[in-house]
Structure 1
Amino acid sequence: MSFPWAREYTPQTGLTRFLDEKLPLPRLVYNAVGAGYPVPRNLSYFWNFGVLAGFCLMLQIVTGVILAMHYAPNALVAFESVEHIMRDVNWGWLMRYAHANGASFFFVVIYIHIFRGFFYASYKPPREMIWLIGVVIFLLMMATAFMGYVLPWGQMSFWGAKVITGLFGAIPLVGEPLQVWLLGGYAPDNAALNRFFSLHFLLPFVIAGAVIMHIWALHIPGSSNPTGVEVKSESDTVPFHPYYTAKDGFGLGIFLLIYMAFVFFIPNQLGHPDNYIPANPLSTPAHIVPEWYFWPFYAILRAFTFDFILPAKLWGVLAMFSAILCWFFLPWLDRGPVRSGHYRPLFRKFFWFGLIPCMAVLFYCGGAPAQEPFVMLSQIATAYYFLHFLVILPLVSSIERPEPLPFSITEAVLGSDKKAVLGENAEPAV
């Protein structure tokens, strides 16, 4: 444990003493999420989204395993097996809608979690490894979600698989063999469906392992906080339980109310109606579009419309992957001494009036038809996106003058009065 004042676990019964000696699972839980894990006392509700992400992952695994018991990964019957789940399996409709909407809510939670990390610079030392593992988790999530989108074998499933796997064909020399290897043939068919189903079932457990590593890495330096000031004393922290278990429980309740409203009242709101049409290789949809959580990266892909040294398609593929890969380098691109955006006036302006509108435009254009003015807007937003991370952020971190930081987390919460910070009986310094 990073903090010397963390409460020690003391077994109270013969059974817990035996377990603590032979298999110290209660001690592990106590130190990870109990009173043995001190947490900064000033965490806002933006810090709830890590727990919500873990809940979403468990929800997806449980509902996914149940759906896998009834799904047939065969191109001839995959669409009908989904309809069978919806119509004939007891509570199958609930499992399917919970899983489909759960994916969207998982990405909502993760996007908020990531942008909270951007604003509060959660990637800075000593938390670089936490951030790097988090980016790996996001990439695994995107791969899992793409493969899951293919499984219903509707029109968008088929043509989405064809378009996205076709991107690999743009890579020189190895592109076409790689595409054939991914699909098991020259077009999405039975082999591709089997591959995607196997990987879609396996990858969530890989994500769960990466999440354990993510939490493990978090417990070494401890949680960050809105001020960016490191913990200095016991007064800066409170035990995770009961303070933050109660706060996370409240946040989870609000999340479930919104999530259940979608599942029970508008379950198809976040999907595409064409995916209720069986896959037809001879009928191309008027507008091929991925799920909404891929839209910003799809907009970046489509922003490249002309050849320059390399083909436009290859530039689009490189930019799409680079849009996420550049996050790996944020700990070294942002060299400013202050973490929290609350104390970085210039950074704050570029974040709220630059990056956030840029992402909003990319989200909108990714779901819009590939025509003007959406292509031009995508190009402008893509240019700013890379400028923000590769040019503006390093430049701002080197020239801006941060606002004064509080001396401690306790001072940020209770004020600068010595009695408030150090206690009512604090004696004035001599």
Structure 2
Amino acid sequence: MALQDLTPQLRTRLSRMERAVGWFVFLATALLLFGFGYYLYHTAERKGWFTIKAKFVTYISSAAGLKVGDAVVMKGTEVGRITLIDPLEPRNPLNVKVEFEVRDRYFRYIWRDGSVVKVNAADFLGKRQIEITVGTNGPAISVTQPITVFTNLDDLKQLVVATTNHWQLAQDILDENSNIIFGAYTMLNETNFQHIAELTHDPIYAYNNTDPTKNHVVAVWRWHSHRYEMITPGSESAALPALESPAVTERLQKVVDQVQAALPNFLALTNQLSALLNNGANAASNVSSLAVSAQPIVTNANSLIVNLDTNVTATLISLSEMTSNLNAQVQENSNVLSSISKAVTDSDTFVQGLKHHWLLRSAFKNENKKTNAPPAKPISPKP
């Protein structure tokens, strides 16, 4: 049926329905596009498409256990991805080139001193991972602060004088012995600027700490030149030293090789140990037989010791009794000796009395008789 055949009322109703359907299709399409855009935005945000990334490069002896897309970690947290693994030409001592990206804010923790790339074992199946250590000192490797190169030192001096505490060094100032006199990030002022001008006549790299940062990395630290250099298309990424440890499978293979090399000696030692154990068993049997043979001797010795202990006890008791009897006799003899001594003393007194008696005095004459008595003391005549 043609539209012209419809009544005006039906035509009006159909036009309203068409407009409603059109609005529904428009809103559905807009909602679909909004959802698709929201999904793309969150996917990009999750994958870090809007995040500032810093590129780094390191060189290792072997890429075993690594592949493009593997995670790069810092303190156990994923901070980036491996973007390139490139084996170098033969006889190149660097062997394998590995490039990786680190997201913002983590690349700001990578400093000149203390930051290294560790290639560690990730599991027991040969997989490895790249870990970056946090810096301890020195300038950051990658920065988003614009760097200015001053070939005319007078221009820099005017800026330093005009704006105090704004300009800082973006390089190390060395003396003739390659000692760092003024390190990067040193705040420039009139005093140290004069000294810096005396030490170097080369262009000075500096930056204004009040300038807004960029939304991308603009300069990287170069180890050989001791300064920041602006990133240009095709320039080399920031380099980091690597500390590489072999995979677990390689270390296990080395252990297996060492075990295989030592196995013949181990088997010979086992045979010697078996012979030694047999000799020990025979010696133990002989010792057991000797112990059985010595059992009667030990029994007899035990009996002898028991009898000896009994006899010694009896002997000591008898000796104690004899000592008591002897003590009693000595006490009695002491009284007898006292009586004899008194009798001898009385006899001597009696004899002395007889010597002085007038009747018996002549019987005790001892003239010219030598005795042990001392001579009588002469009596001097009285004047």
* TM-score, scaled to structure 1: 0.19
Higher strand proportion, which one?
A: 2
Tell which structure's C-alpha radius of gyration is larger: 2
* TM-score, scaled to structure 2: 0.20
